[in-house]
Structures are given as structure tokens and as C-alpha cells.
Structure 1
Amino acid sequence: MKDEFVQAIQSKNKVRLTFHSKEDGRPLVRVCAPMDYGPSRRAKDKSDRFHLWDYESDSAQHVLSLLPNQVIRVEVLPELFDPAEFVTWDTQWFVQRDWGHYS
């Protein structure tokens, strides 16, 4: 799953993510842009996580940071995303990519 996710980051393909939502207490399915894979800069637990932009979020916060045990399935979609849709900050990504000045 991680390898497909990293490949989707590099190719800028959207993914259909099925994950266990702690908040909802059940699996959810979302279409997302894969952003990065690595530790969260905000969490105390520095375990690697899947970081995604959730296009279908019902809240103002569209970033999902999920531990691997929360992720049920990652399906790479043929639809591409544009990093300009959501990258509004300077960051150092963990996964190498060529996203132009968003890299």
C-alpha cells in the first residue's frame, strides 16, 4: 500500500482511500490527493503516517494524517491533481517528488 501511495504522490494521481475513522467509529471512503508519507510534525507520536488532502471533508480542516493501521485500502485513480489546489505553505516533504516549486 505504501509503495502505491508514494507512486501516486510522484505521479500526482488522486487516490480513493478507505480508512477507519476514529471520529466516526466506522470505515469511510474519500477521494484524496496523497501529500506525503512520514512522521507528523504536529503529533507527539512520530510514527510514519499517510498524509492526504481530503477533497470530500465536511470540516474546514482538509488534511488527513493516518497511521498505517487505520488505512484499509488505497486505490490509485487515473485522475490527476494539481498541488496548487492545496499547497499554500513552504514545507520539506519526506517523499521525493517533482512538483515544481511545490516540491
Structure 2
Amino acid sequence: MAADISARDGAAAALKSIGELTGKQTVGVASLEPTDTGWKVGVEVVEERRVPSSGDVLALYETEISLDGDLLSYRRARRYLRGHTGDESGRS
């Protein structure tokens, strides 16, 4: 399991990398899971700001962080409204 980098450091690396790559504001870590090669981290991002903020469009990015803290891969898994209370299937 991921012994070289802590969960906190893996999460911080994912937040920083996604913020830099997308140029968007990261909201926080939505999920964190150890893997054999590091950490799988779900990062929530503000894709579009709206007024009121409950109408903001958010996105969930799934990342893989190496044992050294480097970003190995990322992808946008889904987009949704901040105030959306629908199912967790990723379908809006």
C-alpha cells in the first residue's frame, strides 16, 4: 500500500495538481483511497460560478497520485450543480 506518501500529502498533491492543470478553484477532497502505486483521490472543482452559489456547476476529478506525490493521471468523472440533491450515479 501507499507507504511513501501520507494520505494528507497525497490529497494535497491532487488538489494542487488539479488546480494548476484546470485553472479552476478546487473545493476539496471528495474521496481518498490507497492503491498499490500511491493514492486515488477524488477532487471537487468549481467549473462555473453562478449567483446564487447553490447554482454553481461543480465537477469531480478522479486522480492517481504516485508514491512520490506526482500526478500519474486524472479525468473529469462528472459535472453537477452544487445544490443538486439527485442520486450519486453521476447522471445530472
Bigger proportion of residues as strand? 2
TM-score bin (small chain):
0.3 to 0.5
With structure 2 as the length reference, what TM-score do the two structures score? 0.34
**Normalised TM-score (structure 1):** 0.31
Higher relative contact order (CA 8 A, sep 6+): 1
